[in-house]
């Protein structure tokens, strides 16, 4: 095996072992308004260091509606200068912890005029622009332990979970602000020029952001079931006559406004997940029942 391959596999394993060792004794707490039973908050500085304003950069273990979850508040972005290996590092660690399902959320700008700020777009598919250009976390020697060299990406957003989410939306009375669509990842950190926005729109993109695709690619590669949603935080300007310009503060403000709805939606989805509790983790220890990974941002769930 390639030496670097062995090194990186050791890093995933070390992180997973460390986390398992540190989640056994959990102080009682309640975080981001979600109801956690016997949770422990871990300041996992070793790999949750996202300095983006509005991201808490925390990893939280706890029980959510009877399912044990590990929740990542914040993420690494490529535009921060992180390698794609680092951006997606937590996903493989969670896999080693015994995680079965990845719920990934993001903030995104809408290209489709019917999507307004505050709307929720369930990801049906994505266009991974950096990936199409060779900036793909799976580049390099394949780690066979996790998955195949050439993984399929069709169907990477689980159809069953998408259907359940739409049903939950109806129950919560928010169906009219929910839709399915195609997310595109661009490199960022600048927002799109008008010509770029028009290009994305023509290509069939409904919403655009600067994250998510690498995590989803790695999760799909290692066999995780994936559910994704975008909170539409702004319209992407497509007209030279439109004086509006997006800014990060506005993005955060919409996140705060929709926090409660997203929280209810995710919690209900978690409660309906059919996961085999008490799965054995890949490191041979009993996981605290099932671990579900939510990649969420504090700005959304605070
Ligand atoms: O994709 P997330 O991390 O939700 O954040 C989105 O919001 C930030 C821009 O305001 C960018 O990081 C973009 O990707
Ligand atoms: O308009 C946007 N473009 C790219 N990323 C984003 N993240 C939130 N809004 C946007």
pLDDT of residue 120: 96
CA gap 81, 3 in Å, rounded: 24
- How many whole angstroms from 279 Cα to the centroid of ligand 1? 33
Tens-digit pLDDT profile for residues 144-163? 999 999 999 999 999 999 99
Q: Which residues line ligand 1 (CB under 6 A)?
A: 52, 75, 77, 106-107, 188, 209-211, 248, 251, 297
Q: What is the largest CA-CA distance in the chain?
A: 60
Which pLDDT belongs to residue 233?
A: 93
Number of domains in the chain: 1
Ligand 1: residue of 106, 192, 247 to mutate (most ligand atoms within 8 A of CB) is: 106
Residue 194 vs residues 150, 199, 235, 240, 244: alpha-carbon distances, Å: 35, 9, 12, 7, 11
Q: Which domain holds residue 235?
A: 3-301
Say yes or no to pLDDT of 220 above 90. Answer: yes
Average pLDDT over residues 89-94: 89
pLDDT class of 286 with cuts at 50, 70, 90: very low
The ligand placed nearest to the CA atom of residue 87 is 1
Of the given ranges (12-26, 167-181, 246-260), which has the lowest mean pLDDT? Answer: 12-26
pLDDT digits (tens, 9 = 90+) for 33-58: 333 443 444 443 333 434 445 555 67
pLDDT band at 270 (very low <50, low <70, confident <90, very high): confident
Mean pLDDT of 251-268: 86
pLDDT at residue number 63: 74
Q: How confident is the model at residue 1 (pLDDT cuts 50, 70, 90)?
A: very low
CATH of the domain at 287: 3.40.50.1580
Question: CA 216, CA 88: separation in Å to the nearest integer?
Answer: 9
Share of the chain above pLDDT 90, in %: 48
Q: Is the pLDDT of residue 214 over 60?
A: yes
Band (3; pLDDT cuts 50, 70, 90): low
Q: What is the mean pLDDT of the chain?
A: 80
Give this prediction's pTM: 0.85
For residues 240-254, give the mean pLDDT: 87
Choose one of 54, 80, 107, 187 to mutate for the ligand 1 pocket test, by most ligand atoms within 8 angstroms of C-beta: 107
More confident site: 257 or 275? 257
């Amino acid at each position: 095996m390639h030496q670097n391959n062995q090194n990186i596999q050791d890093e995933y394993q070390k992180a997973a072992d460390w986390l398992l060792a540190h989640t056994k004794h959990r102080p009682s707490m309640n975080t981001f308004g979600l109801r956690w039973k016997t949770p422990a908050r871990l300041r996992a500085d070793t790999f949750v260091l996202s300095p983006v304003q509005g991201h808490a950069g925390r990893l939280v273990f706890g029980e959510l509606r009877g399912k044990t979850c590990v929740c990542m508040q914040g993420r690494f972005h490529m535009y921060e200068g992180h390698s794609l290996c680092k951006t997606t590092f937590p996903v493989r660690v969670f896999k080693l912890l015994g995680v079965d399902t990845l719920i990934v959320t993001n903030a995104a700008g809408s290209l489709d005029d019917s999507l307004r700020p505050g709307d929720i777009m369930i990801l049906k598919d994505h266009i991974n622009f950096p990936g199409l250009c060779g900036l793909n976390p799976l580049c390099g020697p394949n780690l066979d332990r996790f998955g195949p060299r050439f993984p399929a990406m069709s169907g990477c957003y689980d159809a069953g979970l998408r259907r359940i989410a739409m049903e939950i939306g109806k129950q919560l009375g928010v169906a009219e602000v929910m839709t399915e669509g195609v997310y595109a990842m661009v490199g960022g950190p600048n927002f799109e020029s008008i010509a770029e926005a028009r290009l994305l729109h023509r290509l069939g993109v409904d919403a655009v952001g600067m994250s998510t695709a690498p995590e989803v690619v790695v999760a799909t590669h290692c066999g995780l079931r994936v559910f994704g949603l975008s909170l539409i935080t702004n319209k992407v300007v497509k007209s030279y006559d439109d004086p509006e310009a997006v800014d990060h503060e506005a993005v955060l403000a919409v996140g705060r406004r929709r926090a409660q709805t997203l929280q209810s939606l995710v919690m209900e989805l978690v409660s309906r997940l059919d996961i085999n509790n008490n799965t054995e983790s890949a490191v041979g220890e009993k996981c605290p029942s099932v671990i579900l990974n939510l990649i969420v941002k504090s700005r959304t769930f605070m």
